[in-house]
Amino acid sequence: MISISDHRLLFEAQMAQNALRQHAGLHWQIMAGRPAAGLALTVDDTLPHPQGYQIVIENGQATIAAKDAAGIYYGVCTFRQLLQHYGTALPDLTADDFPDYPVRGVMLDISRDKVMTMETLYALVEMLAGWKMNQLQLYMEHSFAYSQHKTVWKEASPFTGQQILELDRFCRQHHIDLVANQNSFGHMERWLKHPEYKHLAECPDGFIGDFGDHMGERRPATSLNPIDPASIALMDGLYGELLPHFSVPVLNVGGDEPWEMGQCRSRDACNTRGKGRVYVDYLLKLHELTQKHGRQMMFWADVIVKYPELIGDIPKDVIALEWGYYMGHPYEEHSPMFAQSGLPFYVCPGTSSWNSIAGRAHNAIGNIRDAASTGLKYGASGLLITDWGDRGHWQPLPVSYQGFACGLASAWALEANAEVDFAALLDRFAFRDSAGVMGRIAIALGNLYMLPGLEYPNGSLLFFLLQQNDRDLTTLIRNLDQNVVKEKPFGIITETMQQCLSIIDDCLREMAQSKAPELVRDEFQQVALLLRHACLRGLMLNGDATISPDYLLNDLENLIPQQRLLWLARNRPGGLKDSIKRFEPLLRQYRDLTGDIPSYL
């Protein structure tokens, strides 16, 4: 039987009971207070490590002891993984296991078109909890059903208050803090495009981008005006409605990338006081709001690191979120700023899934491990893995599994997980592929971006080949890479495209051997076929006369219906129309229509 030292461990005992039934064919009863004949779960507050556990398996009996219920939960998660691996033939072992980071979080983007169904989200949360995640954030811009703001979310299939309440309860069962997340400065374009909110914008009529791939491009309004009291009044109302649905007293106010700050309505203030001062003053007003609503504030730290002299002005109960998504991000430069100021901070790497369709596997692992090691060095209190959906959120959810696995493994025990075979672990614990195929395919497709000429900042040329018409592709490449090979159209290398096609075709053949669920196989097949289309377009642009616009038009028109079906298999319909619309620039070009739709939508 299964013995528990406290009746409050029933949920953890039921997890163990289900694992024994599923993976070992054993049906053990649960009892409280009695010595176990098979498995004992015991809280022992003399043990040294919160969330840690000790597991002993000897002579057919197992004991899991921990300082707290969370530790028991994580011990049961490991016990379940052992059963998945060994079945009834568990080896004798003793393990003393505890986390490097007290907070091990995942942030899911639910505002770039995709909003998961509750069924999908519950399954993902349960899987990630088994990998010892203990914080979840749902990144929101417009995807909560605010009662006074239906105009903003009516096409988005937003989360309702009841759904958040139910998710919060589900997370608490799995020892996860569900943290509220509402962007409160930049990335408010889904609000500011509507006439009733336009007056809140820094630049109501839009602005000229002066950054990255949007250099010189006309952009719609994205940022609130930081010196307008109406901006704070809006956030006060949103916080007042959103926050009561969360039991954890923390709020991520965002604040990242207020691109047009100082260009229009706050120009005089920024010129007089300095952009950094205007930014921090706005942040302090948000802090007052979070205190008013009884919450601890988090914020993205990309702006404040440009003004290190102002970090000391931020209250010490605020958590800074130091994010960066490429290998070599200056975590080593930024982390000491927070450590020396006494400001608590998380390191926030990413899954590198966005702007790629297949992910950027090598970059994800390098970025996450850089963040994890530097954060430990300078005393970061958490590691938050972010998963974004830029430009239509075309990548399917399983593309992000490797990033989630690497991030949570690194946050729990960085050194012990330094040499992990992610393909094998993904097959066993994520894809459920007994043939051992899908993990290797996912990583092979996820590393296509590394072929010569395909790697671009924060994305892959293959992805841009699917979204940009010729004119906009030229501009994008010029903005991202001034050193692109000038004598070749768009910097495309024929040999690279041919090599890429060969790898994709090999992956498609191997997929037939996979035992993963049908949905996972269909999703990776779609990934491969979309990337294959990108390669063919690249070859056509490079002068391959055997590939015609008519052929590519027919190919893409066949892929789009499958994209819709796969979207709806895991996600709500809101946002699908906007996401699919991003195929239009290419469709129009293949049809040789005039009046190109801009590739940025």
Amino acid at 161: G
CATH of 103-186+227-420, one of 3.90.940.20, 3.10.20.310, 3.40.50.2000, 3.20.20.80: 3.20.20.80
- For residue 491, what pLDDT band results from cuts at 50, 70 and 90? confident
Beta bridge partners, 159, equal 144
**pLDDT tens digit string along 459-488?**
999 999 999 998 888 877 777 765 554 445
Beta bridge partners, 270, equal none
Residue 485 has what pLDDT?
Answer: 40
- CA quadruple 119, 122, 126, 131: dihedral sign: positive
Amino acid at 290: T
**pLDDT tens digit string along 554-566?**
999 999 999 999 9
Tokens 């490429």 sit on residue: 326
User: E strands within 388-504?
Assistant: 455-456, 459-460
Least confident of 80-84, 273-277, 468-472, 494-498: 468-472
**pLDDT tens digit string along 151-183?**
999 999 999 999 999 999 999 999 999 999 999
Task: Count Cβ atoms within 10 A of the Cβ of residue 49 and give its class: 0-12 exposed, 13-18 middle, 19 or more buried.
Answer: middle
Please calculate the CA angle 239-578-563 and round it to the nearest 5 degrees.
120
What's the average model confidence in pLDDT over 587-592?
92
The DSSP annotation for 2-70 comes to EEESSGGGHHHHHHHHHHHHHHH-----EEESSPPSSEEEEE-TTSS-TT-EEEEEETTEEEEEESSHH
Radius of gyration of the chain (CA): 25
Residue 483 has what pLDDT?
Answer: 54
**pLDDT tens digit string along 203-231?**
999 998 877 667 777 889 999 999 999 99
Least confident of 3-17, 407-421, 446-460, 542-556: 446-460
Q: How far is CA 119 from CA 66, 124, 395, in A?
A: 31, 9, 19
**pLDDT tens digit string along 357-395?**
999 999 999 999 999 999 999 999 999 999 999 999 999
CATH number listed for the domain at residues 439-590: 1.20.120.670
Closest CA to 532 of 562, 556, 510: 556
| Contact predicate 222/188, CB 8 Å | yes
Average pLDDT of the chain to the nearest whole number: 94
**pLDDT tens digit string along 100-120?**
999 999 999 999 999 999 999
Residue 218 has what pLDDT?
Answer: 83
pLDDT for 600 beyond 70? no
Long-range contacts of 515-519 (CB under 8 A, 24+ apart): 515/432, 515/433, 515/434, 515/435, 515/437, 516/427, 516/431, 516/432, 516/433, 516/435, 516/437, 516/438, 517/431, 517/432, 519/566, 519/569, 519/570
Cα torsion 350, 355, 361, 367 to 10°: value is -30
CATH of 2-97, one of 3.75.10.10, 3.30.379.10, 3.90.950.10, 3.40.50.720: 3.30.379.10
Least confident of 88-92, 100-104, 309-313, 381-385: 88-92
Q: Where are the domains of the chain?
A: 2-97, 103-186+227-420, 439-590
Residue 597 has what pLDDT?
Answer: 59
Q: Which helix (H) or strand (E) holds 108?
A: strand 103-109
Give dist(CA 146, CA 159) in Å, integer. Answer: 9
- CA quadruple 521, 526, 528, 529: dihedral sign: positive
Residue 458 has what pLDDT?
Answer: 87
What's the average model confidence in pLDDT over 302-309?
98
Residue 455 has what pLDDT?
Answer: 86
Categorise residue 201: left if φ over 0, alpha if ψ from -120 to 50, beta otherwise: beta
- For residue 47, what pLDDT band results from cuts at 50, 70 and 90? very high
Portion of the chain with pLDDT greater than 70, in percent: 96
Portion of the chain with pLDDT greater than 90, in percent: 89
What lies within 8 Å, CB to CB, of 554 at 6+ separation is none
pLDDT for 568 beyond 60? yes
Residue 481 has what pLDDT?
Answer: 65
Give dist(CA 361, CA 444) in Å, integer. Answer: 8
What lies within 8 Å, CB to CB, of 593 at 6+ separation is none
> Are the folds of 103-186+227-420 and 439-590 the same?
no
| Contact predicate 258/304, CB 8 Å | no
Alpha helices of 174-311 — where are they, by DSSP H?
189-192, 229-242, 267-273, 275-292
Residue 500 has what pLDDT?
Answer: 98
Residue 297 has what pLDDT?
Answer: 98
Question: In this structure, what token pair is assigned to residue 464?
Answer: 């841009």
**pLDDT tens digit string along 426-456?**
999 999 999 999 999 999 999 999 999 898 8
